[in-house]
Structure 1
Amino acid sequence: MDSDVSTDDLRHLARCIALAAEALADGDEPFGSVLVGVEGTELFADRNRVKGGDATQHPELAIARWSAAHLTPEERATATVYTSGEHCPMCAAAHGWVGLGRIVYAASSAQLAGWLADWGVPPAPVAALPITDVAPGVRVTGPVPELAAQVRALHAARFGKA
Structure 2
Amino acid sequence: MNSTDRQHLRRCVDLAREALEAGDEPFGSLLVDPQGQVRFEDRNRVAGGDATRHPEFAIARWAAEHLSVEERAHSTVYTSGEHCPMCAAAHGWVGLGRIVYASSSEQLGGWLGEWQVAPAPIAPLPIQTIVPSAEVEGPVEEFADEIRELHRRLYGK
* TM-score interval, normalised by the smaller of the two chains: over 0.9
* Counterpart pick for 2:149 among 119, 134, 153: 153
Unaligned runs of 5+ in 1: none
Deviation at 1:32, TM superposition (A): 0.2
Counterpart code for 2:42: D
Counterpart code for 2:52: T
Residue-by-residue CA offset, 1:96-152 (whole Å, 9 max, x unaligned): 000000000000001001100100100000101000000011100000001111111
Unaligned runs of 5+ in 2: none
Residue 134 in structure 1 maps to residue 130 in structure 2 = yes
Residue 48 in structure 1 maps to residue 44 in structure 2 = yes
* Counterpart pick for 2:76 among 77, 80, 88: 80
**Which residue pairs with 2:27 in the alignment?**
31
Residue 66 in structure 1 maps to residue 62 in structure 2 = yes
Counterpart code for 2:104: S
TM-score, normalising length: structure 2: 0.99
Q: Residues of 2 paired with 1:95 and 1:127: CA distance?
A: 17
- CA RMSD in angstroms comes to 0.4
Counterpart code for 2:105: S
Residue 12 in structure 1 maps to residue 8 in structure 2 = yes
**Sequence identity, in percent?**
64
Q: Residues of 2 paired with 1:104 and 1:150: CA distance?
A: 17
| 4+ residue segments displaced more than 2 Å | none
Moved more, 146-155 or 73-82: 146-155
* Counterpart pick for 1:115 among 89, 111, 114: 111
TM-score, normalising length: structure 1: 0.96
Q: Residues of 2 paired with 1:11 and 1:83: CA distance?
A: 12
Aligned residue pairs total 157
